Amino acid sequence: MSLVGFIFRRVLIIIPTLWVIATLTFFLIRVAPGGPFQSEREIPAAAKEQLLRKYGLDQPLHRQYLSFLANAARLDFGPSYKFPQRQVREIILEAFPVSAELGGWALLVAILVGAPIGVIAAVKQNSRADYAAMGIALAGVSIPNFVLGPVLVLGLALTLYLLPPALWQGPESRVLPVLTLSTAYVAYIARLTRGGMLETLRQDYIRTARAKGLSEPVVVGKHALRLGILPVVSYLGPAAARIIMGSIVVETIFAVPGLGRYLVNAAFNRDYTLVLGGVLFYASFLMVLNLLIDVAYTRLDPRVELA
């Protein structure tokens, strides 16, 4: 199958998938208890009725749903209920780059640290280096980021005063959130790299390369790594999805002004438009990202065909 045909086919799958996600999110958030205009102080009935009319919430549910689909097709989710002066699209365009930067740095750190650890563990299989690397990986997977984040803040920010404890104001403020978010993925990538490299190092062409007298760094770095890293490449799509969605917790811990914090607050406040817009944006972004990862996988391994 040609690349253009593959992309066209995937786009045809993405559209109905987004429709299902939009439908489920629309009705689930409406079924949830509470509403966008409920607060500790009761709003007068006349003012509440006016608000419902303004946002179209006085219409039957099926009309609200059809109106939502028509507007979503134009990428218009309307104003936020919590921030009525701002459009949902503006909030997403302002906040998502922060979440993307946090997730991008965390994924980069995970690859740059995890892949070498996995390669060393595979080359030194069953040695102390292998056991130490896999022990560190197990510890990284076992500690959740909502535990690791406060521990790092307590140790590096509030005790040693080396780094700022929160916010997103300069390079120093990015260190703790990125470390917190990347630790688990360093461990995953290290284990995947080790497994892929062990399988590749047993292949016949690796034995042939060694028999020709090539040095071990050349055999590992030039010949084995290209195929040994394939499990990591296939994992990057789900990893990017999890790392960006996982940043919601990290953004809350470190007061990072990303889209994750907006979504958490929107869910608590029953801000229907912001929740729907944020969920659909995340879903679209992650589907496109997975498509790009699939294409990159076929370029690294010509034996894999587009399907």
pTM over 0.85: no
Q: What is the pLDDT of residue 304?
A: 56
> Which residues does the chain have with pLDDT short of 70?
1, 3, 38-43, 246, 297-307
The amino acid occupying position 183 is: T
Taking the CA atoms of 16, 22, 23 and 24 in sequence, report the sign of the dihedral they define: positive
Q: What is the pLDDT of residue 105?
A: 92
Q: What is the pLDDT of residue 85?
A: 86
The domain ranges of the chain are 100-270
Instruction: Tell me how far apart the alpha carbons of residues 285 and 30 are, in angstroms, rounded to a whole number.
Output: 24
Q: What is the pLDDT of residue 19?
A: 92
Instruction: Tell me how far apart the alpha carbons of residues 81 and 268 are, in angstroms, rounded to a whole number.
Output: 12
Q: What is the pLDDT of residue 300?
A: 62
DSSP bridge partners of 87: 79
Q: What is the pLDDT of residue 112?
A: 92
Q: What is the pLDDT of residue 175?
A: 92
Domain at 100-270, CATH homologous superfamily: MetI-like (1.10.3720.10)
Three-class SS of the chain? CCHHHHHHHHHHHHHHHHHHHHHHHHHHHHHCCCCCCCCCCCCCHHHHHHHHHHCCCCCCHHHHHHHHHHHHHCCCCCECCCCCCCEHHHHHHHHHHHHHHHHHHHHHHHHHHHHHHHHHHHHCCCCHHHHHHHHHHHHHHHCCHHHHHHHHHHHHHHHCCCCCCCCCCCCHHHHHHHHHHHHHHHHHHHHHHHHHHHHHHCCHHHHHHHHCCCCHHHHHHHHHHHHHCHHHHHHHHHHHHHHHHHHHHHHHHCCCCCHHHHHHHHHHHCCHHHHHHHHHHHHHHHHHHHHHHHHHHHHHCCCCCCC
